[in-house]
Amino acid sequence: MNLVNYLIENYGGEILVDNQWQIKGSKGNSYTVEWHPFHNHYSCGCKGYAFRKKCRHIKEVSDSFKNRKWND
């Protein structure tokens, strides 16, 4: 399973462009998670990120890279 299939299957997400992923929230809303390589951090369009600057959508994408749960 490659990264695209892994994100779609496990998070209902898809890669939009380089460093951006569309992730489905727990209530069916879609959020864009983006990696900012120059600043070395993620951002998300959800309310949780707007208030706390962290959210589960970012954690899911980040953990999938750290744990390499897919095959190339």
Give the per-residue pLDDT at 5.
Answer: 66
What is the per-residue pLDDT across 2-13, written as a single tens digit (0 to 9) for each? 665 666 666 665
- Grade residue 16 by pLDDT with cuts at 50, 70 and 90: low
List the chain domain ranges. 3-66
Distance CA 72, CA 58 (A): 21
Give the per-residue pLDDT at 50.
Answer: 94
Please tell me the pTM assigned to this model: 0.68
Mean pLDDT across the stretch 39-66? 90
Helix 56-67 × helix 3-11 angle, to 10°: 140
